Structure 1
Amino acid sequence: MNIEYSKITLKSDYILDNYNFLGSTIRGVFGIGLKKIVCINPSKICEGCFAKDSCLYYDFFESDFAKFRLSIELGGKLNFDIFLFEEYALKAPYVISAIYKAFREIGVTKKRIKPEFMLYFNDELIYDNEFLSFENKSLIYEINDYKKDVIVFFKTPLRIKENNKFVRDKVKFETILRSINHRYSKLKNQPIEKLPFLPKYEIEFENYSFVELKRFSNRQKSAMKFGGLTGVMSIKNIDEQTYKYLKIGELIGVGKQVTFGLGKIELKE
């Protein structure tokens, strides 16, 4: 398993008070910035737009599946990563320009806060009060190690369904693997099929809390629930293929709304 990607990182010491989950805020202002950068339609209306088939904003914010992921931490500190996948990995200059416009020119929240920040591309500094030159290149994520005993930390709420209902107390391990398989297949433009292997593992212990979040949807003009599971799962004696799926999930995210920062997992031995 491998996947092509690039990573844009914003680092700031600024803390937004009373904003426990910044995913919706960051995604919203990033979207505004991106539309200002790439939109060539005078009406600014996406529905029926003549350019939608080649528009990065439409692909990221109006299509059924977006090939990017927002990675954040819970809390109010304004730090985040945006991962771009596969054919979008080389679209980084547009995303970097959109982030700059969003956080330096437009501002965050209704107060239009414009915090100091630095930007990194694939972990190399590219902006610190001025832009530095950089090579627009993608990376290939490959898994070359194998650990049979791991702990999976659910760092941001995992929003995932079982039997057509969002899980609120305990998630099946196979549900996580199926979600990773589904998202990986779509990123690779492959047919979505059942897990191509029978996973082997032992759950040692698990502990979850349901975190309820809310966001206001400008499109639907209403508040929307946005909660999911955080917690930890300790797994022993996993097979190598299962381990690879978990490592891919660590990069691409798990479950729904990963473009809002949900579904972030981290593995430790």
Structure 2
Amino acid sequence: MYLGRYRFTLIAQDEINLPPFIGSILRGGFGYSLKRLVCIIKRRGCSGCILEEKCAYRLIFETSPTVETPKFMGISQLPRPFVLKIPFDPKARRTRIGRGEAFTFQLILIGRAIDLLPHIIVSLSRLARMGLGRDKGRAVLHSVHAVGLGEERLVYDGMRERLFDPPEPISSDRIVSSFSLPDPHRVTINYLTPTRIKVRGDLVFPIRFHHLIKSLLHRISMLSYLHCGQIPDLDYVGLMRAAEKVEMIGEGQRWLELSRYSSRQRTKMFVGGAIGRTSYRSDEDLSDFCPLLALGEWINAGKLTTMGLGSFEVIR
């Protein structure tokens, strides 16, 4: 797997009032703006469009199986090749951004989606100018930085509207090699945004270690195959058997309910999940799980990761 991480910095031109978690607004606006930018056929849906195999919007927002990925034929919900990383304060009731203030978020791109960074920058710049939230508070995209492992580089200067060559994508091997656990028998996870993991169709709470590992195995496998053309070398059966022996200690998780408005379904939807710190312990060495945890910090876990849910960090 190969990834790119980009920090977008916007400057508010108006006062902007948003919900406490802005991931849904950003994701919805991003999709709307990108489709307006790249769609020249102006069809209502992507299915059957003569350009669907080469369309930037379809690749990012309407991921579908192709003749190159036949094993996923018949699966309706395939993981999209991007993840939003949104600053989030669970105690906040609103997000207020004053005129002239800067606010940032990160976007993780996976595999082929990295080549579409210029399209994404233009679409998010247009979204900012159109306005965010119910009051349509306007902003300008000030800059975009590629954020690597201990380094960053400017890839877009919004004041001069100039793009710069981005650095090479970051390989999963580099991410994994920079990761380690301070205690090989204990790991503490901080669920930063509501994390929604389903088992046999039902949301689980609290999230036990094997729930998290199963979600990461699923996401890493599908993202690698669909968007990077790679099949990861993972011992699925062995890892799951080992994960089921890991104990959860402490009760730091809590359920946080969020709501969002779905334009497609024209209704309010509830998208709660688990947040907070949880420690897991095992008599066995947990180092075999390091590759999954390292990548999971980048790609999130569970459902609705494209709007920023499922973000977690390993406390080190």
The bucket for the TM-score relative to the shorter chain is 0.7 to 0.9
The reply to whether residue 69 of structure 1 matches residue 64 of structure 2 is: no
Match of 2:159 in 1: 129
Cα distance, 1:16–1:150 mapped onto 2, change above 3 Å? farther
Q: Cα RMSD over matched residues?
A: 2.4
Quick check: 2:17–2:135 contact (8 Å CA) kept in 1?
no
Match of 1:235 in 2: 280
The reply to whether residue 265 of structure 1 matches residue 295 of structure 2 is: no
For 1:22 and 1:240, the matched residues in 2 are separated by 35
Unaligned runs of 5+ in 2: 64-76, 90-94, 98-102, 148-152, 226-230
The reply to whether residue 114 of structure 1 matches residue 138 of structure 2 is: yes
Summarize deviations over 1:203-227 as a string: whole Å, max 9, x none. 4434111111111111112221111
SS of 2:19's partner is coil
Summarize deviations over 1:171-192 as a string: whole Å, max 9, x none. 1210100100100001111499
Match of 2:270 in 1: 225
SS of 2:252's partner is strand
Aligned length: 265
The reply to whether residue 53 of structure 1 matches residue 78 of structure 2 is: no
Cα distance, 1:116–1:243 mapped onto 2, change above 3 Å? same
Structure 1 stretch displaced more, 242-251 or 230-239:
230-239
Summarize deviations over 1:119-161 as a string: whole Å, max 9, x none. 2231323224223441133222321142124321100000111
Structure 1 stretch displaced more, 253-262 or 126-135:
126-135
Match of 1:87 in 2: 112
Quick check: 2:18–2:133 contact (8 Å CA) kept in 1?
no
Cα deviation for residue 36 of structure 1 reads 1.9
Cα distance, 1:181–1:20 mapped onto 2, change above 3 Å? same
Cα distance, 1:13–1:188 mapped onto 2, change above 3 Å? same
For 1:236 and 1:193, the matched residues in 2 are separated by 21
Q: Percent of counterpart pairs with the same letter?
A: 26
For 1:59 and 1:246, the matched residues in 2 are separated by 26
Cα deviation for residue 235 of structure 1 reads 3.1
Cα distance, 1:133–1:43 mapped onto 2, change above 3 Å? closer
TM-score of the superposition, structure 2-length normalised? Answer: 0.76
Quick check: 2:209–2:247 contact (8 Å CA) kept in 1?
no
Q: Report 1:161-172 matches (<5 A).
A: 161-167=198-204, 169-172=205-208
Match of 1:158 in 2: 195
Quick check: 1:67–1:85 contact (8 Å CA) kept in 2?
yes
Summarize deviations over 1:67-96 as a string: whole Å, max 9, x none. 111111224264211111012222211111
Quick check: 1:71–1:261 contact (8 Å CA) kept in 2?
yes
Quick check: 2:11–2:142 contact (8 Å CA) kept in 1?
no
Amino acid at match of 1:85: I
Match of 1:138 in 2: 169
Cα distance, 1:7–1:252 mapped onto 2, change above 3 Å? same
Cα deviation for residue 13 of structure 1 reads 6.3
Q: 2:9 aligns with which of 8, 11, 16?
A: 11
Match of 2:25 in 1: 25
SS of 2:108's partner is strand
Summarize deviations over 1:81-121 as a string: whole Å, max 9, x none. 111101222221111111111113x2212322212443223
Match of 2:221 in 1: 185
Q: 2:211 aligns with which of 157, 175, 182?
A: 175
TM-score of the superposition, structure 1-length normalised? Answer: 0.88
For 1:41 and 1:7, the matched residues in 2 are separated by 31
For 2:260 and 2:108, the matched residues in 1 are separated by 22
Quick check: 2:196–2:309 contact (8 Å CA) kept in 1?
yes
Amino acid at match of 2:54: S
